[in-house]
Structure 1
Amino acid sequence: MDNPVIIVGGGMVGLSLALMLAKCNIQVTLLEAITYPDEAVNQDIPYHSSFDARNSALSRRSVQIYQELGLWDKLQQHATPILQVHISEQGSFGKAKLVNTEEKVESFGQVIENAWLGRVLLREAQQNALIQLIDGVSVSALHQDAEQVYLTATQAEKTLNLVSKLVIAADGRDSFCRQALGIGVEVHDYDQVAIVTTVQTSKPHQQIGFERFSPLGPLALLPLPGEYRRSVVWPVKKGTEQEWLGEQNDQHFLDALQQTYGDRAGKFEKTGKRFCYPLSQVLAHQQVSGRVVLMGNAAHTIHPVAGQGFNLCLRDAHVLVRYLQHQFAQHLDIGDESVLKNYEQARLADQKKVIFFCDHIVRGFSNNNPILKLARNTGLLAFDLVPGIKPMVANFAMGLKA
Structure 2
Amino acid sequence: MPQVVIVGGGMVGLSLSLMLAKANIRVKLLEAIKYPDILDAELQEYHSSFDARNSALSRRSVQIYSKLGLWESLQQHATPIRQVHITEEGGFGKARLLAEQENVENFGQVIENAWLGRVLLTQVKKNNQIELIDGIQVTALTQDNAKVTIEALRDNEKIKVVSDLVIAADGRDSFCRQALGIDADVHDYEQVAIVTTVQTSKPHEHVGFERFSALGPLALLPLPGEKRRSVVWPVKKGTEQQWLGTENDQKFLDALQHTYGGRAGKFEKTGKRFCYPLSQVLSHKQASGRVVLMGNAAHTIHPVAGQGFNLCLRDAEVLVRFLSNQLKTSSDIGSPHLLKQYEQARLVDQKRVIKFCDGVVRGFSNQNPLLKLVRNTGLVAFDIVPGIKPMVANYAMGLKA
Q: CA deviation at 1:368?
A: 1.1
CA distance in 1, matches of 2:12, 2:169: 7
Q: CA deviation at 1:42?
A: 6.0
1:101 is paired with a residue whose SS is helix
What residue in structure 1 maps to residue 216 of structure 2? 217
Q: CA deviation at 1:328?
A: 1.5
What residue in structure 1 maps to residue 282 of structure 2? 283
1:102 is paired with a residue whose SS is helix
Structure 2 stretches of 5 or more lacking a match?
A: 44-50
What percent of counterpart residues are identical? 74
What residue in structure 1 maps to residue 369 of structure 2? 370
Q: CA deviation at 1:22?
A: 0.3
What residue in structure 2 maps to residue 82 of structure 1? 81
Q: CA deviation at 1:3?
A: 1.9
CA distance in 2, matches of 1:355, 1:156: 39
CA distance in 2, matches of 1:391, 1:55: 26
AA partner of residue 288 (structure 1) = A
CA distance in 2, matches of 1:164, 1:190: 38
What are the equivalent positions in structure 2 for 1:354-393 lying under 5 Å apart? 354-393=353-392
What RMSD over aligned residues (CA atoms) do the two structures have, in Å?
1.1
1:327 partnered with 2:326? yes
What residue in structure 2 maps to residue 201 of structure 1? 200
Q: CA deviation at 1:39?
A: 2.3
Q: CA deviation at 1:133?
A: 0.3
What residue in structure 1 maps to residue 140 of structure 2? 141
- Greater shift in the superposed pair: 328-337 or 14-23: 328-337
1:91 partnered with 2:113? no
Q: CA deviation at 1:263?
A: 0.6
- Spell out, residue by residue over 1:48-87, the C-alpha distance to the aligned partner (whole angstroms, 9 max, x if none): xxxx953111000001111111111010101000000000
* 8 Å Cα contact 2:99-2:105 kept in structure 1: yes
Aligned length: 394
* 8 Å Cα contact 2:40-2:122 kept in structure 1: no
- Spell out, residue by residue over 1:151-193, the C-alpha distance to the aligned partner (whole angstroms, 9 max, x if none): 0011112111000000000000000000000000000000000
AA partner of residue 314 (structure 1) = L
What are the equivalent positions in structure 2 for 1:113-152 lying under 5 Å apart? 113-152=112-151
* 8 Å Cα contact 2:57-2:111 kept in structure 1: yes
1:277 is paired with a residue whose SS is strand
* 8 Å Cα contact 1:53-1:275 kept in structure 2: no
What residue in structure 2 maps to residue 301 of structure 1? 300
CA distance in 1, matches of 2:73, 2:208: 23
What residue in structure 2 maps to residue 172 of structure 1? 171
CA distance in 1, matches of 2:386, 2:3: 50
* 8 Å Cα contact 1:37-1:43 kept in structure 2: no
CA distance in 1, matches of 2:42, 2:79: 24
CA distance in 2, matches of 1:55, 1:135: 23
- Spell out, residue by residue over 1:200-236, the C-alpha distance to the aligned partner (whole angstroms, 9 max, x if none): 0000000000000000000000000000000000000
CA distance in 2, matches of 1:199, 1:181: 43
What residue in structure 2 maps to residue 267 of structure 1? 266
CA distance in 2, matches of 1:142, 1:18: 20
- Spell out, residue by residue over 1:279-306, the C-alpha distance to the aligned partner (whole angstroms, 9 max, x if none): 0000000000000000000000000011
- Spell out, residue by residue over 1:74-115, the C-alpha distance to the aligned partner (whole angstroms, 9 max, x if none): 101010000000000000001000011111111000000111
AA partner of residue 165 (structure 2) = L
Alignment CA distance shift 1:222-1:41 (3 Å): closer
CA distance in 2, matches of 1:133, 1:283: 28
* 8 Å Cα contact 1:196-1:232 kept in structure 2: yes
CA distance in 2, matches of 1:39, 1:308: 29
What residue in structure 2 maps to residue 49 of structure 1? none
Q: CA deviation at 1:139?
A: 0.1
What residue in structure 2 maps to residue 240 of structure 1? 239
1:265 is paired with a residue whose SS is coil
* 8 Å Cα contact 1:19-1:125 kept in structure 2: yes
Structure 1 stretches of 5 or more lacking a match?
A: 45-51
CA distance in 1, matches of 2:41, 2:253: 34
* 8 Å Cα contact 1:31-1:135 kept in structure 2: yes
- Spell out, residue by residue over 1:103-142, the C-alpha distance to the aligned partner (whole angstroms, 9 max, x if none): 1111000000111111110000000000000000000000
Q: CA deviation at 1:40?
A: 3.9
What residue in structure 1 maps to residue 2 of structure 2? 3
2:392 is paired with a residue whose SS is helix
* 8 Å Cα contact 1:6-1:31 kept in structure 2: yes
- Greater shift in the superposed pair: 127-136 or 365-374: 365-374
AA partner of residue 278 (structure 1) = P
AA partner of residue 88 (structure 2) = E
- Spell out, residue by residue over 1:218-275, the C-alpha distance to the aligned partner (whole angstroms, 9 max, x if none): 0000000000000000000000000000000000000000000011101000000000
